[in-house]
Amino acid sequence: MGKFYISTPIYYVNDNPHLGHAYCTILADFFARYHRLKGDETFFLTGTDEHGQKVQKTAEKEGLSPKELADKVVLRYKELWSKLDISYNDFIRTTDDRHTKGVLKILDKMVEKGDIYKGSYEGPYCVSCESFFPEKDIVDGKCPDFGHPVTVLKEESYFFRLSKYEKPLLDFYSSNPDFVLPQGRMNEVKSFVEGGLKDLSITRTSIHWGIKFSEDEKHVLYVWLDALSNYITALGFGSEKDDLFKKFWPCDIHLIGKDILRFHAVYWPAFLMSAGLPLPKHIFGHGWWMKDQSKMSKSLGNVVDPNPLIEEFSSDVLRYFLLREKPIGTDGSFSDEGFIDRLNADLANDLGNLTSRLLALLEQQFQGKVSEGDGSLKETALKQLEEYHKAMENFAPKEALEIVWSFISTLNKHLVEREPWAKPRTKESEDTLSEVARALRLISLQIAPAMPHAAGTIVKSLGFAPSTFKTFSWDEKQETRAYRISNLFPRIDKKEYFKELESKKDKTVEQGKKENNENHEQKTISIDYFRTIELKAGKIIHAERVPKSNKLIKLIVDFGSENRQIVAGIGKKYSPEELVGKTCPFVFNLEPAKLMGVESNGMILAGNLDGEPILLQFLEEVPPGSKIT
Ligand code: ME8
């Protein structure tokens, strides 16, 4: 029996959770459950990253304080984790007192080491990524990672001597070649460090929402130093009650998305070296879920909400799909069709059929009795179990589940070959069915980290005592009594499902049209016709009155790929000053026109109140140029 500590990233609270966040948390839960089943003392940490400019800005937009926003979004995370049966041991919030205390303690140690000094920083800074980028990486004023606009920031700042750790980090990577996983990512990290490390600015005076640097309180800590420390502050580092820290640190695996590898594999180990603390054993950078060829992310507006999928198909099904569908290290594309296909093939057909067929035969022929069996499947079962353990130790969920499914298919074949239905109530039939039942008990154990509900139901229906649900071994002693259960994973008729989905959509459109007709007696237009009108979000970056007009305002609008001049008749209601910085919807493909001699290349959309135009705003931040559909 060993110890196992696994963490997820702590998620930003400026967004509601989406399928990508669910994926990483399900992965971590999968490994945590596996280690608990193996008998390891396990600690599984998740939580939320609540400080920094990104959260502060979103809160301002929503008219909330940053803490109010955090409290609201944290609830959404916790609700989703509960629906997904996430068995975390602790949920850390960076606004927790225990976290602040721990972070300041780490910083004290870095100061003691002489690694912190005061200077000033100037450089391109991306607010969305909360990160400075080297000048050479900025293309057209946009950050290299996501193409967000960057601004040049100059301010007094405290620095961390990251450059001092260039050599120690490279030495560490050489002696721990599997520190970063999958292996290919280790090379990315190495080359980044070999390219040279500059000292890191770790405080800001321009940001107020964060942990204050105790040595100079007008400085707020860099959000990544604050955030990364969660992995030890949650264990009580820096407090009197630090037994968990003593027991579980260093962490076995920080599971993260590949987007934040540099922070975890370069900065975090350097901070820890400076603070004189041991380094984590592995950093695993998993691949992304994509939608429409892009990484699923709120700012691109292509996120999949896991909630309807859980409600329609259950948490077990969604968990299984995400773990099984793509290799952990690479990217995969989410589609409803792929989801239904996987459910039907693996769950309804392979596992579901095996279970229901077996339980039915046991009941029909032996009143459910599962006897000792003849041991004919034991060797195959134990062999695949060994392979499964290897895959699990290598952090390879897809491969581990493939091994189990290959065994399921062996069992289905075994039944077909032995035809127990053709030899009712014979010793041969009894042996065959009992043997398959014992194999299925083992399978349940192996799938329990992915599908805890289904696994528990199968073991119970086979009549095995809950106590046997803890040992990864071939249980041959117990005689049990199985009973039939209803279909575990009903097959989804794909055609029907998509027809229903379409008809739901059509109904909404029809309803909308009907209401439109009834209310306004207007002609309807087809969706294809509507699609000819290009609507886009644009950010107003400049506004001034058109001379001699009290109504017209000339706007310069950022659409991501270009800035456009658009004239709007909103000057009676709005002043130019209050328009700058607002993101509004525009008609993008309107033919150019001149209004009082000023060219206009598009039109702002507005509502109407007593004859005055009222501008429209988005509920969440959308990037300039994003399509409105
Ligand atoms: O980066 N596919 O938080 P975050 C797969 N607060 N996984 C995805 C994904 C996608 N499309 N999108 C997000 C932060 N993720 C920081 C972390 S840790 C000290 C601080 C997952 O809310 C993935 O695991 O942006 C990624 O690393 C994480 O969500 C980022 O969450």
**pLDDT score at 562:** 81
Hey, which of 8, 24, 331 would you mutate to test ligand 1's pocket, going by the most ligand atoms within 8 Å of its Cβ?
Answer: 24
DSSP state of 65: -
**pLDDT score at 508:** 59
**pLDDT score at 296:** 86
414-464 pLDDT, tens per residue? 999 999 999 999 999 999 999 999 999 999 999 999 999 999 999 999 999
**pLDDT score at 57:** 83
**pLDDT score at 163:** 98
Q: Is the CB of 288 under 6 A from ligand 1?
A: yes
**pLDDT score at 509:** 61
Hey, which of 23, 81, 103, 231 would you mutate to test ligand 1's pocket, going by the most ligand atoms within 8 Å of its Cβ?
Answer: 23
Q: Is the CB of 289 under 6 A from ligand 1?
A: yes
User: How far apart (Å, rounded) are the C-alpha atoms in residues 203 and 103?
Assistant: 13
Which residues of 436-595 form beta strands (DSSP E)? 480-481, 535-545, 553-558, 563-568, 583-587, 593-595
Residues 6+ apart with CB under 8 A from 154: 120, 121, 122
Assess whether pLDDT exceeds 60 at residue 520. no
112-169 pLDDT, tens per residue? 999 999 999 888 888 777 677 778 888 888 887 778 888 887 889 999 999 999 999 9
Q: How many helices (H) and strands (E) does the chain have?
A: 22, 26
Q: What is the mean pLDDT of the chain?
A: 92
Q: Determine which residue's CA is closest to atom 7 belonging to ligand 1.
A: 20
**pLDDT score at 297:** 79
Assess whether pLDDT exceeds 90 at residue 178. yes
Averaged pLDDT, 294-307: 84
Question: Whose structure tokens read 């071994």?
Answer: 473
Report yes or no: 159 and 201 within 8 Å, Cβ to Cβ. Answer: yes
Averaged pLDDT, 94-109: 97
Which residues of 447-493 form beta strands (DSSP E)? 480-481
**pLDDT score at 596:** 83
How many angstroms separate the alpha carbon of residue 106 from the centre of ligand 1?
A: 24
342-398 pLDDT, tens per residue? 999 999 999 999 999 999 999 999 999 999 999 999 999 999 999 999 999 999 999
Residues 6+ apart with CB under 8 A from 327: 287, 396, 398, 399
**pLDDT score at 302:** 84
User: How far apart (Å, rounded) are the C-alpha atoms in residues 294 and 146?
Assistant: 11
Q: Is the CB of 296 under 6 A from ligand 1?
A: yes
What percentage of the chain carries pLDDT values higher than 70? 96
Q: How many other C-beta atoms lie within 10 A of the C-beta of residue 44?
A: 22
Cis-peptide, bond into residue 182, ω within 30° of zero: yes
Q: Determine which residue's CA is closest to atom 12 belonging to ligand 1.
A: 20
18-73 pLDDT, tens per residue? 999 999 999 999 999 999 999 999 999 999 999 998 898 899 889 999 999 999 99
How many angstroms separate the alpha carbon of residue 416 from the centre of ligand 1?
A: 46
User: How far apart (Å, rounded) are the C-alpha atoms in residues 498 and 502?
Assistant: 6
Nearest CA among 260, 253, 255 for reference residue 280: 253
Q: Is the CB of 303 under 6 A from ligand 1?
A: no
User: Which residue would you say has higher pLDDT here, 593 or 268?
Assistant: 268
What is the chain's length?
629
Q: Whole-model pTM?
A: 0.80
How many angstroms separate the alpha carbon of residue 9 from the centre of ligand 1?
A: 6
Please give the structure tokens belonging to residue 265. 């594999």
Q: How far is CA 596 from CA 507, 567, 568, in A?
A: 45, 10, 11
Averaged pLDDT, 525-548: 86
DSSP state of 265: I
**pLDDT score at 518:** 61
193-245 pLDDT, tens per residue? 999 999 999 998 878 899 999 989 999 998 899 999 999 999 999 999 999 99
